[in-house]
Structure 1
Amino acid sequence: MTTATRSFAPPAALRFAPGLALAAAVAAAATAAARLGWLQANGISALTLAIVIGVVAGNLLPAAPLAASADGLNLAKQWLLRGGIALYGLRLTFQDIGHVGLAGVAIDAAVLSSTFALACVLGTRVFGLDRTTAILIGAGSSICGAAAAMATAPVVRGKPEQVAVAVATVVGFGTVAIFLYPALFHLIALVHPLSAAQYGLWAGSTIHEVAQVVAAGHAVGDAAADTAVIAKLVRVMMLAPFLVALSAWLARTGARHAARARAPITIPWFALGFVAAAGLRSLDVLPAAAIAVANTIDIAVLAIAMAALGLTTRLSAMKAAGLAPLGLGATLFAWLVVGGGAINWAVQALG
Structure 2
Amino acid sequence: MPGVAVAGAAALLAWGVHSLVPAVPLLTAAVALGILVAQLPFAQRALTGVLAPGLSVAAKKFMRLGIVLLGLKLSLVDIAHLGWVSIVTVIAVLVITFVVTLWLGRLFKLPGHQPLLIAAGFSICGASAIGAMSHVARSKDEDTATPVALVTLCGTLAIVVMPLLWHPLGLSALQFGHLVGASVHDVGQVVATAQVAGSAALAVAIVVKLTRVLMLAPMVAITSLVVRRREGAPAAGTKHPPIVPLFVAGFIAAMLVRTFVPLPGPIIDGADTVQTALLAMALFGLGTAVRLGQLVRTGWRALVVALLSWALIAALAWVAVQLG
**TM-score, normalised with respect to structure 1:** 0.84
- State the partner residue of 1:49: 29
Measured after TM superposition, the shift of residue 187 of structure 1 is: 1.0
* SS of match in other structure, 1:96: helix
Please tell me whether residue 213 in structure 1 is matched to residue 193 in structure 2: no
Measured after TM superposition, the shift of residue 316 of structure 1 is: 4.8
Please tell me whether residue 144 in structure 1 is matched to residue 125 in structure 2: yes
- State the partner residue of 2:94: 112
- State the partner residue of 1:91: 73
| Map 1:257-268 → 2, pairs under 5 A | 266-268=243-245
| Greater shift in the superposed pair: 26-35 or 55-64 | 55-64
- State the partner residue of 1:297: 274
- State the partner residue of 1:186: 167
Percent identity, aligned pairs only? 36
Measured after TM superposition, the shift of residue 131 of structure 1 is: 4.9
Change (3 A) 1:307 1:181: closer
Measured after TM superposition, the shift of residue 231 of structure 1 is: 0.7
1: CA distance, partners of 2:86 / 2:7: 38
- State the partner residue of 1:275: 252
Measured after TM superposition, the shift of residue 63 of structure 1 is: 1.5
- State the partner residue of 1:36: 20
- State the partner residue of 1:76: 58
Change (3 A) 1:215 1:254: same
The aligned amino acid for 1:95 is V
Change (3 A) 1:264 1:323: closer
1: CA distance, partners of 2:49 / 2:30: 20
Measured after TM superposition, the shift of residue 92 of structure 1 is: 1.3
* SS of match in other structure, 1:270: helix
Asked which structure has the greater CA Rg, the reply is 1
**TM-score, normalised with respect to structure 2:** 0.90
Give the ranges of 4+ consecutive aligned residues of structure 1 lying more than 4 Å apart after TM superposition. Answer: 262-265
Q: How many residues align?
A: 318
Change (3 A) 1:168 1:338: same
2: CA distance, partners of 1:65 / 1:140: 25
The aligned amino acid for 2:19 is R
- State the partner residue of 2:147: 166
* SS of match in other structure, 2:161: helix
Change (3 A) 1:307 1:176: closer
Measured after TM superposition, the shift of residue 277 of structure 1 is: 0.6
